[in-house]
């Protein structure tokens, strides 16, 4: 069991913290040398559960970890393609959208290209607690599953939200449920030739992708898609709508009244959560059409129903469905339930526990992603990818990675200059709100 002292500790080597690591190396190399990035897995992965063969990213490659902040960066997606010898082929493909698998490989390549930030794999963080000295918050302690303790002044939590499991399904044994975050890992463990009755819950992109993929992964299965909507819908992707994912829109959203934010999130929901890409929609409809054409009757859709109950009956899962149009109830029996139900709207468990340790209630963050802490503080905690309610629907997506990393780092540098050096910070390339952060 070791105790490691660092200035900055980042939890989770996903896209958010990798973008921060890149910004550290390019803008603050001294701080980068005193920074550690912890990842619970033995290798850097991204959306491992949904790396379905042929699946495309829905975000332009230009919105990588760094390009919109520093187009000349050696950490860009284009430089990754050049480095591995696939740049010409990608250009020839004529698409702004990379395959999801190559985007995941780009993130792995970026992690391996870091030279200053210390990336440590296989380190699962189980607890984060504050450290006070004479009533002032002076740092944080993070304990890992292997018993090591990391002490830091700046803690950045970028481990993502917890998977959402609908409450009625919490009574079902975990081995019968597969959330989209675990699809690829878990589906390969099953026997391919078994006639599984599969229920897919949801009608968004991940649900549709699993419904499509499971027909090939389990060729003898009979999948049923259950969803509350009137039918699967295309995502809203107009160029005007896409401007809501611009970095500059975060300022507009954050400055809006709480009721206005809620209305904007409601209207933007289909741009990300409830809509399918054009290619996925076409594939889904063609599968349904061919199933009807051939008379096989393998595929089933149950729209406009809520999952209102679930129980296990021997080797089966019995799911109660209620038609929200007329209240009629029916039961569907399944061997396996696939959940395209997204993520919990709550802050991650680690963040909630840390807030409780600080004696605070609801978690709040500043415009620059710093957790609001009551009382004197010489340390700071930052939250990445979980601030949709205050920073807009793009907060959990790839679109804002480069800009957010810059915002967050500038706030750290400003805070550090005042607390550690006792002087105002010197502006570095890309700085935007340093003086304001000091004043705040």
- 195 shares its domain with 327: yes
Question: Is 178 a residue whose pLDDT tops 80?
Answer: yes
In terms of DSSP bridges, do strands 125-133 and 136-144 run parallel, antiparallel, or are they unpaired? Answer: antiparallel
Where among 321, 339, 357 does a domain terminate?
A: 339
- 356 shares its domain with 289: no
In this prediction, residue 361 carries a pLDDT of: 84
Task: Say if 243 falls within a structural domain.
Answer: no
Give the three-class secondary structure for 385.
coil
What's the predicted TM-score (pTM) here?
0.91
Question: Is 426 a residue whose pLDDT tops 90?
Answer: no
Task: Say if 84 falls within a structural domain.
Answer: yes
Eight-class DSSP state of 160: -
Where among 286, 310, 339 does a domain terminate?
A: 339
pLDDT in tens, 270-296: 777 778 888 999 999 999 999 999 999
Answer whether 212's CB lies under 8 Å from 286's CB: no
- 32 shares its domain with 129: yes
- 224 shares its domain with 355: no
Give the residue numbers spanning the domain of 284: 167-235+274-339
- 348 shares its domain with 330: no
Task: Say if 178 falls within a structural domain.
Answer: yes
Which residues have a Cβ under 8 Å from the Cβ of 104 and sit 6 or more positions away? 45, 46, 47, 48, 51
- 223 shares its domain with 295: yes
Tokens 């935007």, located at residue: 432
Where among 339, 357, 382 does a domain terminate?
A: 339
A 10 A CB-CB count for 367 gives 18
Kindly report which listed range (51-55, 89-93, 221-225) carries the lowest average pLDDT score. 51-55
In this prediction, residue 435 carries a pLDDT of: 33
In this prediction, residue 160 carries a pLDDT of: 83
| Gap between the Cα atoms of 241 and 271, Å rounded | 8
- 411 shares its domain with 286: no
We report the CATH number of the domain holding residue 300 as 3.50.50.60
How large is the average pLDDT for residues 325-338?
Answer: 97
Which residues have a Cβ under 8 Å from the Cβ of 134 and sit 6 or more positions away? none
In this prediction, residue 324 carries a pLDDT of: 96
Question: Is 329 a residue whose pLDDT tops 50?
Answer: yes
Strands (E), 168-315: 177-179, 197-201, 222-226, 233-234, 275-276, 300-302, 305-313
- 25 shares its domain with 49: yes
**327 pLDDT band (50/70/90 cuts)?**
very high
| Gap between the Cα atoms of 287 and 282, Å rounded | 9
Question: Is 201 a residue whose pLDDT tops 90?
Answer: yes
In this prediction, residue 218 carries a pLDDT of: 97
- 42 shares its domain with 106: yes
Q: How many residues does the chain have?
A: 440
Report CA 311 to chain centroid distance, whole Å.
30
- 315 shares its domain with 294: yes
Choose among 33, 32, 34, 37: nearest CA to 10.
37
Answer whether 9's CB lies under 8 Å from 38's CB: yes
If 0-12 CB within 10 Å is exposed, 13-18 middle and 19+ buried, where does residue 138 land?
middle
How large is the average pLDDT for residues 356-372?
Answer: 94
- 52 shares its domain with 133: yes
Task: Say if 420 falls within a structural domain.
Answer: yes
In this prediction, residue 421 carries a pLDDT of: 64
| Gap between the Cα atoms of 34 and 30, Å rounded | 7
pLDDT in tens, 95-110: 999 999 999 999 999 9
- 175 shares its domain with 322: yes
How many domains are contained in the chain?
Answer: 2
């Amino acid at each position: 069991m070791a105790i490691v002292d660092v200035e900055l500790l980042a939890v989770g080597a996903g896209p958010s913290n990798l973008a921060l690591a890149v910004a550290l190396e390019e803008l603050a190399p001294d701080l980068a040398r005193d920074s550690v990035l912890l990842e619970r897995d033995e290798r850097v992965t991204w959306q491992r559960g949904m790396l379905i063969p042929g699946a495309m990213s829905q975000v332009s490659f230009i919105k990588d970890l760094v390009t919109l902040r520093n187009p000349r960066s050696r950490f860009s997606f284009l430089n990754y393609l050049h480095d591995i010898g696939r740049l010409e082929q990608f250009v020839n493909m004529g698409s702004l959208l990379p395959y999801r698998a190559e985007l995941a490989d780009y993130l792995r390549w970026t992690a391996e290209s870091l030279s200053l930030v210390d990336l440590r794999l296989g380190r699962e963080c189980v607890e984060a607690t504050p450290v006070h000295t004479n009533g002032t918050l002076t740092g944080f302690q993070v304990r890992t599953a292997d018993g090591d303790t990391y002490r830091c002044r700046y803690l950045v939590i970028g481990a993502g939200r917890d998977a959402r499991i609908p409450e009625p399904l919490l009574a079902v044994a975990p081995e019968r449920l597969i959330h989209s975050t675990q699809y690829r890992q878990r589906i390969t463990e099953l026997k391919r030739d078994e006639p599984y009755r599969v229920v897919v819950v949801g009608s968004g992109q991940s649900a549709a992708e699993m419904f499509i993929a499971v027909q090939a992964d389990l060729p003898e299965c009979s999948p049923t898609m259950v969803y509350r909507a009137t039918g699967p819908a295309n995502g809203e992707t107009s160029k005007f709508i896409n401007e809501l994912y611009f970095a500059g829109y975060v300022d507009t959203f954050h400055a809006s009244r709480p009721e206005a934010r809620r209305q904007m999130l409601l209207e933007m929901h289909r741009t990300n959560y409830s809509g399918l890409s054009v290619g996925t929609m076409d594939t889904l409809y063609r599968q349904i059409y061919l199933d009807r054409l051939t008379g096989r009757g393998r595929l089933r859709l149950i729209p406009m129903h809520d999952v209102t109950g679930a129980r296990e009956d021997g080797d089966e899962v019995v799911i109660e469905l209620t038609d929200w149009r007329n209240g009629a109830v029916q039961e569907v029996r399944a061997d396996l339930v696939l959940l395209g139900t997204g993520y919990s709207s709550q802050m991650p468990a680690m963040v909630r526990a840390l807030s409780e340790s600080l004696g605070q209630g609801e978690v709040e963050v500043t415009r620059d992603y710093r957790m609001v802490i009551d009382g004197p503080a010489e340390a700071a905690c930052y939250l990445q990818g979980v601030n949709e309610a205050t920073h807009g629907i793009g907060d959990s997506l790839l679109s804002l990675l480069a800009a957010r990393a810059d915002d967050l780092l500038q706030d750290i540098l400003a805070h550090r200059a005042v607390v550690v050096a006792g002087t105002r910070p010197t502006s570095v390339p890309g700085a935007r709100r340093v003086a304001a952060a000091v004043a705040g």
